[in-house]
Amino acid sequence: MLRAFSHTNGRCAFHHAKCWPHRKSVLAIRREDVNAWERRAPLAPKHVKELTQMGYKVLVQPSNRRAIHEKDYIKAGGIIQEDISEASLIVGVKRPPEDKLIPKKNYAFFSHTIKAQEANMPLLDEILRQEIRLFDYEKMVDHKGMRVVAFGKWAGVAGMINILHGLGLRFLALGHHTPFMHIGMAHNYRNSSQAVQAVRDAGYEISLGLMPKSVGPLTFVFTGTGNVSKGAQEMFNALPCEFVEPHELKEVSRSGDLRKVYGTVLSRHHHLVRKHDGLYDPVDYDKHPELYTSRFSTDIAPYTTCLINGIYWEQHTPRLLSRQDAQKLLVPVRSAAGATEGCPELPHKLLAICDISADTGGSIEFMTECTTIDSPFCMYDADQHIIHDSVEGSGILMCSIDNLPAQLPIEATEYFGDMLFPYIEEMLLSEGSEPLESQNYSSIVRDAVIASNGSLTAKYEYIQKLRESREYAQSLKMGNKKRVLLLGSGYVSGPVLEYLTRDSNVDITVASVMKEQLEQLMKKYSNVTSVHIDVIKHEEKLSSLVKKHDLVISLLPYSAHPLVAKKCIDNKVNLVTASYLTPAMKELQESVEAAGITVISEMGLDPGLDHMLAMECIDKAKEVGATVVSYTSFCGGLPAPEHSDNPLRYKFSWSPQGVLLNTVQSATYLKNGEIINIPAGGALLDSVTPMDFFPGLNLEGFPNRDSTKYAEPYGIQTAHTLLRGTLRYKGYSKTMGGFVKLGLINPDPYPLLSSTTPPLTWKELMCKLVGIKLPAEYHVLKEAVFSKLEKDKSQLEAVEWLGLLGDEPVPAADSIVGALAKHMEMKLPFGTGERDMIVMRNEIGLRHPSGHLEDKFIDLVVYGDNKGYSAMAKTVGYPTAIAAKMVLDGEIDAKGMVIPLTKNVYGPILERVRAEGIVYSTRSVIKQ
């Protein structure tokens, strides 16, 4: 199947070289040192043997990594030698490091400079400075423009093996054992023949009908007709396969034979059409590709199990798939009647993409980063627009390795060498220091010379112009870049960064005291830089950071926002936060207006989405002349029911300290025309009410802060009831009440917990809080705590469960509640595979002009994703990010303090959060 290239053409190619005067020239094969997996060489021993028999000296730099052993090169007549300065021609596969270049030599390798690739411009500059003659294999083309020296076929072969292996893993993650599980990664095979046998063995099992019936017929689509696609198809042919025309794909994907797999080869005319008339004209397309669009996402992709992409994308040409296309293709299919838990159907047809082109941001728009041989697969989740390293979860399996032939290095070397060998002698019989004009090169070799004698050759002078053009565009772009400072790197920062980094014109700096969190974020997101700093303790540095940005997003605790706001006022920089507009923030109103900046608060979940959903309903009611007679809103971030197995029935997906302090806040609300005041200090926990609107969740609720203050901004002064509250599972408030009794929810400074003092154990701290002398026996302390808890056994059990009577050190903190928050964050995190949920219920009573009453019920329930963002992170982060983007883009231009109560603000945000999977429902009950 995978046959070797014949040497006949190689030998014949030397006849034209006899016009050069014969002299003993030296060729060197350099060591590959750019990538640990790069085990290839440009020439194999058989090529070295032929060169040495012709009288040439061949040096081979030693390398234990090279797949072909040194003894084979020695046997062929090569000389293993570190110093290769004697050579007139130095050949390699990949680029050498700049500091390894030797002046005035001939070099041949893939330089990746012909598009003025920014990463390789320092290499090109050094080549010019050292007056090196550079032959680039990529530009060795025949009269038709087809490359004559390439690894393309072996990229296709390796890519096909890899994706078959990946499909085995993906099917298993979806609940199906398949024959593909017996296929390994390409580099696990000594040669392609072994891989072919493994694929044939899998194919034999498929032909026996051993594919699970519930997965349906498998279809493979190959794009491109070049060597890459042909290599992939050769490997595919080892399966029991049938090739069909693209228009037949729909039928075979539904009713095809499960004892075979189906393939189709896609050419331009199959999916490209002119936008205005739906026709394809190849000549017109070559001239005006921007006038065309692709129908791949509608005509081919819905019937494709695996896409093998072998085409490169250029600007102004249509893409195969966009992010929006992926979202549509990943909509779950309806389960058939025969599907069971043990024999599930596939969630959607398109399971995998092997992008052999490895063209980031190219024909597959959402392929933004190549995978590697070490980590070959990732999952693209179109709904969240995130990529995670796994074969599990929702999304499309992606494989986009950019050095695939390195997985089959021996055959790839021999194949490539066969193609390169006919041109070696003419490159070898010249000195890099000689003028290019004096060289009698063939057109294929001459046209591949990028640089010579310290200058770009005439054919490639455009590279310098391209560089200058790009650098100029970058300077303009940098001038137009929008700079965002994100303060905080906790739970919510992920969705904020994910959303904002979709716009390459936004540069983000993340400042945080949490170094490990910063490092994780830097690995995950592009155009993001980090600053490790405690901005609260370094006000001058905070001011300096704010000054360099156009917008600040603060995800810090609400107590830090006045400080951040003052720095924004001083530097005339806009600010967005998700926290309440506190009295301390309101005091800055005049200063904010005088500075002419926008400060947006309450742009998260609660407060945030609760305001927006309320105002959308209230504004619509007013449009029909109705008045609001009551408004009640309860919201809570909770563990999903199956993960609520602890005394608090709670786990932390946002600031633990904020959760704890909320329980000792004061609260005010309006009920049936009467104002109810609840003092601070814990009385709030005595005002708990069972919530029965979702009976299966066993919820309780308690008032949250001052609800009455929203009557005026909401424009509902007519309401006789106005209550905003917090939801928890039943039992939470009682447990938290025990902590209040013990003095654990105390925000006052507590010097004994300072990092500069000797550490206390929880046992020692509890002794101080309940007033018994140290040292104390465990049972003595337990009895004292029990008395302090007024003999409440469930509260004592919670204290013991958290280890608050033990010898574990108390975390250093400014206050007792701060220490408890850090302790709880360690004791009550969401574990691997656990998810949280958001529950919100708005109930709005309306009186219509006719006199009849209507109750509006607005429900928002959002679950976190096991492998992605928590529900809390999504419902706080995305509204915050969307508001920030609206400020950057000028959609929100009001100056002063802003909360999302007007249609021009809440309208676009509610629409855009839907696209991020945050979906609410509304229903009405009419009363006479």
Q: Are 799 and 782 in contact (CB under 8 A)?
A: no
From the candidates 136, 381, 507, 606, which is the catalytic residue?
606
348: three-class secondary structure by DSSP = coil
Alpha-carbon span 551 to 506, nearest angstrom: 11
432: amino acid identity, one letter: G
Question: What is the C-alpha R_g of the chain?
Answer: 34
Query: Phi, psi at residue 759, to the nearest 5°?
Result: -65, 145
If you search the block for the tokens 């030296």, which residue do you land on? Answer: 26
Alpha-carbon span 388 to 492, nearest angstrom: 17
The count of other CB atoms within 10 Å of the CB of residue 621 is 19
Residues for the chain: how many in total? Answer: 928
Instruction: Give CA separation, 848 vs 397, 629, 671, 855, in Å.
Output: 53, 10, 21, 11
Instruction: Give CA separation, 869 vs 316, 331, 493, 721, 877, in Å.
Output: 34, 19, 10, 36, 10
If you search the block for the tokens 């392609």, which residue do you land on? Answer: 192
β-strand 241-243 against 219-223: which pairing, if any?
A: unpaired
Q: Are 54 and 426 in contact (CB under 8 A)?
A: no
| CB burial of residue 751 (10 Å; 0-12, 13-18, 19+) | exposed
β-strand 482-487 against 551-554: which pairing, if any?
A: parallel
* Continuous segment of H or E residues that includes residue 726: strand 721-729
606 is a catalytic site residue? yes
If you search the block for the tokens 């009405």, which residue do you land on? Answer: 924
629: three-class secondary structure by DSSP = strand
Query: Phi, psi at residue 409, to the nearest 5°?
Result: -70, -35
Alpha-carbon span 331 to 599, nearest angstrom: 38
Angle in degrees, CA 841, 833, 804, rounded to 5? 80
CA–centroid distance for 610 within its chain:
28
Q: Are 294 and 267 in contact (CB under 8 A)?
A: no
Token pair listed for 793: 């056994």
Q: Which residues are catalytic?
A: 606
